[in-house]
Structure formats: C-alpha cells, structure tokens
C-alpha cells in the first residue's frame, strides 16, 4: 500500500510536469514533456508486464521513482534557461511571421518588397544568435556541469623549481664554444590566467606603438611552449647528465676507443637551438614586416613556461594579466565557443571544472617565481577602469603607448548573463579557491 500510494503521488507530479512542458512551444521542452507523458509511462508498464508474466507490481515502483527523478532533474535544468528561451521564442515568432508573409506574397504573385534582403539577413542573424545562446545555455546546465566535474582531467605539469634545476643542469654542459647571441632581443610576453581575461585588449594597447607586434596565441591549441617546458623540466632527471656532455679537446682518436653511446652537445647549444625556433617562427616575420619589437600573448602559459622563455631571452619582459574566474567563465560559457583547448586534442576546456583547474594552476604558479623576475601583474578591473599607470608601463617596456586608441573601441563582448548559476560558482570556488586567494580575489 505504501509503495502504491507513493508511486501514485509521483505519477501525479510526473504528469503535471509533462503537461507544463508540453504547453510551452519550445522544442526542447516538447521532447522532454513527451518523454514524461503518462502514455509513455503506460507503454513502459506494458513492456514490463509482457516481460514479466508473473504479477510483479513492485518492479514498477523503482521504475517510476527513477523516471520521475530523471524527469524532475531535466525539467529543472530546462527551466533554468527561461531568460534565454524567452528570447528564442521571440526570434522564432519573428521567423515564423516572416515565413507566413513570404508564403502569402508568393500566392498573390506580388513583387518582392524593397529591403527584403536586409530583412532576411536580420532573420538569419537572429537565428544564428539564438542558436549560439541556446548552445551556451545547454553548456551551462547544472546537470552537465556536475557530470563534467566528476570526469574532469587533472593536469600535472613541471613546476618552476623543476625548470630551474634543469636549466642549472644544462649550464654545466656549457663549453663556451657558442656564447654570443646573434642579436639582442627583448620580446614582450603577455600571459593571461585563462580565456576572457582581457588579454586581447591589453594586446591591442601594446601595439599602439607602431614598432611593436604582439602575436595572438600562435598555434595556441597545440601548446608548443608548454610541451617544450614539460620536456625541459625533466632534463635534470637524466642519469649521469654531466658525463654525457662532450668534453673540450675530444678527438677522433679518443672517440674511437671511448664510450660514446650517450654523447651530448653542450647545454647552451640546446638553449640556442630552442631560441632559434622562436626567432625564426615569431621574430623574423615581425622584423620582415617592419616591427623592431615582437612578442606574443597567450592564455595557456604559467610561470614554468615563463621561466623557459626567460632562459631563452634573458632581456624579455613579462606581463601577467588576471581577471576574476567567475567573470572569465561567465564570458567563456556565454560565448558558445566549442573549440577551446588547453592542448589539442586531449585536453578540452568546456566546463566550469576544466576552466577552474586551468585558471587555478596558472594563478598559483606566479607565486613560485624567484625575487627579481621581470614581470608585472595587471588586474583586468584596473585595466578597464583606467587605474593602470601606462606611463610607468611604457617606461618599463621601453615602448610608447597610446592607450586611448585601443580603449575607445569595444571589441569582442560575449557575456550574456549577469551572474553564474549556483552550480558553476560552487565548482569554480572549490577548484580555484586557492588561486583566487593568491591573486586577491574574493568569492
């Protein structure tokens, strides 16, 4: 009796939810409402009855309970997107009215109206915008966010200490044969704590100096600097590394009678080879186009990669840009982008957990840098509220900045919501709380 009464109450709630969803002309709700309808449940009961000839009515209770909980979760997830879906309904009505009008016009044989192409373009743009917002809403569903949190990968990357030890080990093998740089270089590396932190705005401010070219995340998805840093970070772990570097005065006769199975060039040659990779890839194209200073901005690199770049370019300057992770993820999630990777194809950033762990790793890494490292930390809020001392910044970088040329133009807004939902905030605070504290951000 208890089970049957509880099942009846659940079925009543079940049906009310179904009728509510079916009464709303929204494709997603129609589908879910159909799945929750009593007729579907009756079909499930009939299927179970045919599968179990014996009268096992108690088997229907767990089915009803599970089905009801599933339906309630989906209904809650759908109702959380009311604001976005209201806009989609308005756009849908507009498109339907346009189609009806076009149908009447075709039947009457009247000529096309003036400006019809522009009207059609607005319909297409509205449909695209609605699709982007619908995808963004689906991405930030609490059910999906919790699921992604449960299966999110945790990255383990070399620390600044490991990089310093490897650099020291490579300097032991420096023979001094090649100790002169081909040209003095002082690149500018703009490193942000993840996506949507304002790095493009600061990049545009830097290039107001006509002598400066700051590349934007070149092949960023492939994470070349991170992979090189990971490789270099393990060099200090190699067995008998010091004995493997070639010694001065080694001749052919000596090599003939010596153990040369593991014979390495000097460590400084390895450094210059890595530097020539970045020079040829990023430096030479900038100089070819008339820019005397170059650099790049990235959203995937932390202090370990900065240590690598400083080893390659001792005169380089580093700008670290940070923004509150709540605001960063709100802008990223609302953008509808589905192509964001830390390292393609294995590490994709498409959830609050994935973004928060990435942001936290970068934020915490900057506290590992030694005293005197040439970097300057800038907060996004200070940047947009004109609290950054650009005269001090341009003096430190050795360039001339005309910040108003970039700040007067607003480019690339993606945020739609005013606030993250409770689930996103919970996940981000749990995963990035330590980094938030390190950079001075509160909940």
pLDDT by residue, tens only, the chain of 443 residues = 544 555 555 555 555 555 554 455 444 444 444 444 444 455 555 554 454 444 444 444 444 444 444 444 444 444 444 444 434 444 444 455 555 545 555 555 544 444 555 555 555 555 555 555 555 555 567 877 887 777 777 777 789 999 999 999 998 755 554 555 556 789 999 999 999 999 999 999 999 999 999 999 999 999 999 999 999 999 999 988 888 898 888 889 889 988 899 999 999 999 999 999 999 999 999 999 999 999 999 999 999 999 999 999 999 999 999 999 999 999 998 887 778 888 888 888 889 999 999 999 999 999 999 999 999 999 999 999 999 999 999 999 999 999 999 998 888 777 788 899 999 999 999 999 999 999 999 87
**Upstream peptide bond of 243 is cis (omega within 30 degrees of 0):** no
Q: pLDDT tens, 149-203?
A: 777 777 777 899 999 999 999 987 555 545 555 567 899 999 999 999 999 999 9
Distance CA 306, CA 193 (A): 13
Distance CA 170, CA 269 (A): 9
**Is beta strand 188-192 parallel, antiparallel or unpaired with respect to 317-322?**
parallel
343 neighbors 305 (Cβ within 8 angstroms): no
Residue 340: other Cβ atoms inside 10 A? 20
Q: ∠ CA 434-437-439 to the nearest 5 degrees?
A: 110
The set of residues, in sequence order, having a beta carbon less than 8 Å from that of 344 and lying 6+ positions away, is 221, 222, 223
DSSP 112: P
**DSSP assignments along 118-163, one per residue:** HHHHHHHHHHHHHHHHHHHHHHT-HHHHHHHHHH--------HHHH
305 neighbors 229 (Cβ within 8 angstroms): yes
The sign of the dihedral angle between the CA atoms of 67, 89, 420, 190 is positive
**Is beta strand 375-379 parallel, antiparallel or unpaired with respect to 347-348?**
unpaired
Q: Which residues pair with 341 in a beta bridge?
A: 348
Indicate the pTM of the whole model: 0.68
Q: ∠ CA 442-157-279 to the nearest 5 degrees?
A: 105
Q: Which residues pair with 429 in a beta bridge?
A: none
**DSSP assignments along 277-301, one per residue:** HHIIIIIHHHHHTT-SEEEEEESS-
Taking 3-state DSSP, the helix, strand and coil percentages for the chain, each rounded to the nearest 5, stand at: 60, 10, 30
Residue 366: other Cβ atoms inside 10 A? 22
Tokens 């093998």 belong to residue: 173
pLDDT of 63 reads 47
DSSP 259: -
For residue 332, CA distances in Å to 140, 197, 349, 364, 431 come to 10, 10, 10, 21, 17
Distance CA 430, CA 90 (A): 37
């Amino acid at each position: 009796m208890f089970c049957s009464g509880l099942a009846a109450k659940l079925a009543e709630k079940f049906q009310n939810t179904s009728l509510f969803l079916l009464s709303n002309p929204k494709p997603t709700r129609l589908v879910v409402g159909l799945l929750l309808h009593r007729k579907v449940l009756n079909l499930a009961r009939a299927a179970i009855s045919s599968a179990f000839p014996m009268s096992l009515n108690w088997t229907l209770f767990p089915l009803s309970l599970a089905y009801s909980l599933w339906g309630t979760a989906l209904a809650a997830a759908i109702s959380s997107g009311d604001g976005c879906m209201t806009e989609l309904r308005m756009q849908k009505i507009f498109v339907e009215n346009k189609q009806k009008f076009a149908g009447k016009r075709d039947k009457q044989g009247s000529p096309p109206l003036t400006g019809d192409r522009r009207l059609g373009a607005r319909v297409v743009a509205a449909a695209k915008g609605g699709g982007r917002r619908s995808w963004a809403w689906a991405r930030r569903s609490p059910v999906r966010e919790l699921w992604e949190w449960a299966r999110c990968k945790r990255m383990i990357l070399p620390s600044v200490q490991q990089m310093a030890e490897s650099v020291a080990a490579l300097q032991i093998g420096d023979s001094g044969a090649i100790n002169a740089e081909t040209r003095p270089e002082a690149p500018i590396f703009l490193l942000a704590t993840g996506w949507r932190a304002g790095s493009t705005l600061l990049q545009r401010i830097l290039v107001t100096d006509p002598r400066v070219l700051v590349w934007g995340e070149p092949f960023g998805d492939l994470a070349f600097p991170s992979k090189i840093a990971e490789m270099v970070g393990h060099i200090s772990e190699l067995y008998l590394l010091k004995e493997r570097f070639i010694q001065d005065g080694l001749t052919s006769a000596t090599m003939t009678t010596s153990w040369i199975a593991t014979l390495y060039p000097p460590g400084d040659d390895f450094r210059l080879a890595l530097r020539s990779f970045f020079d040829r890839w990023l430096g030479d194209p900038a100089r070819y186009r008339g820019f005397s200073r170059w650099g790049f901005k990235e959203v995937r690199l932390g202090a370990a990669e900065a240590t690598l770049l400083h080893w390659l370019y001792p005169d380089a300057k580093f700008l670290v840009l940070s923004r509150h992770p709540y605001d960063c993820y709100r802008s990223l999630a609302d953008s509808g982008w589905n192509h964001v990777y830390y390292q393609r194809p294995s590490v994709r950033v498409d959830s609050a957990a994935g973004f928060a762990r990435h942001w936290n790793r970068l934020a915490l890494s900057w506290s590992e840098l030694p005293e005197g490292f040439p970097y300057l930390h800038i907060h996004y809020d200070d940047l947009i509220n004109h609290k950054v001392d650009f005269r001090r910044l341009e003096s430190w970088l050795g360039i001339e900045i005309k910040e108003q040329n970039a700040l007067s133009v607003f480019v690339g807004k993606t945020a739609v919501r005013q606030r993250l939902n409770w689930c996103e905030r919970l996940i981000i605070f749990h995963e990035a709380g330590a980094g938030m504290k390190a950079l001075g951000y509160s909940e």
